[in-house]
Structure 1
């Protein structure tokens, strides 16, 4: 292959890859949620499970999660007060219903304005998106839990939850 043809092929591949990435990250996409960017939040939350994007839950839910760290889904996830403040500040600023979130609140359709859902897996939108997943898939050893997003969505930690 000549150098010119090789350059054209490489350019076309790079252009296609860039187009795919842009389409995946478009504002309002049901499949992209900005990942956790705060290093402390990523470290503390990601130490035991994937650091879930704050845009998946409303601020009132994150407040409840942060207020119950001593019983975090059956585990003690307590942190010192300064760490809790920083994580809470980050979660509030990036929650689904925060002003600068870019419309991620669409995941909250069907959730009462007074409700503070704790489990992303119980949101009506999440349930609809996963209705075709066989019950047996959730108990497979490599999946083990509905909260293990990365088992099926390989780019989940980067904010991409496409179902392909």
Structure 2
């Protein structure tokens, strides 16, 4: 690895890790097979650091009406997932304000990170919406959202 690349990686790592689910505040975010099974069955398993704990709590309490879909789970699964999401939810600036409707794509950090994306890009057939992270972030299923792994479909 070149010195420049290593320096760049060192600078970017603290910014990317909380979102990527790799670590938060120096603590590794463990994978959660139940989260992968239940949530990734319908959409990218968004990293817990993408939303503040209060947002995750509201989402988990309203699973029968999860953005227009019944995503109900048994009470034990809800308890387990809620505890994991709460433990690894966003901290710092990202946690200060819940995004409108608890939508990751409406959060200030998401808007800031995607401000250079043309509105028509979100409407491309292979993209469909800002919530379809995996359309552009090639490593999204692995929880990695590094801008160097972005490929915007045509």
TM over 0.5: yes
Instruction: Give the unaligned 5+ runs of structure 1.
Output: 1-14, 98-104
Matched residue, 1:120: 104
**Aligned partner of 2:36 among 42, 63, 67:** 42
**Aligned partner of 1:56 among 50, 59, 67:** 50
Deviation at 1:106, TM superposition (A): 3.3
1:24/1:152 Cα in 2 relative to 1: closer, same or farther (>3 Å)?
farther
**Number of matched pairs:** 139
CA distance in 2, matches of 1:45, 1:61: 16
Deviation at 1:19, TM superposition (A): 5.1
1:3-152 → structure 2 map (5 Å cutoff): 15=1, 23=10, 26-29=13-16, 32-34=19-21, 37-97=31-91, 105-108=92-95, 111=97, 117-152=101-136
Matched residue, 1:155: 139
- What TM-score do the two structures reach when normalised by structure 2? 0.77
**Residues 87-127 of structure 1: per-residue CA shift (max 9 Å, x gap):** 11110111013xxxxxxx33346x26xx7751011111111
Secondary structure in structure 2 of the residue aligned to 1:141 = coil
**Residues 6-48 of structure 1: per-residue CA shift (max 9 Å, x gap):** xxxxxxxxx56x959x649723437852167110011101010
Secondary structure in structure 1 of the residue aligned to 2:14 = coil
CA distance in 2, matches of 1:24, 1:151: 26
**Residues 44-74 of structure 1: per-residue CA shift (max 9 Å, x gap):** 0101001100011011000000000000000
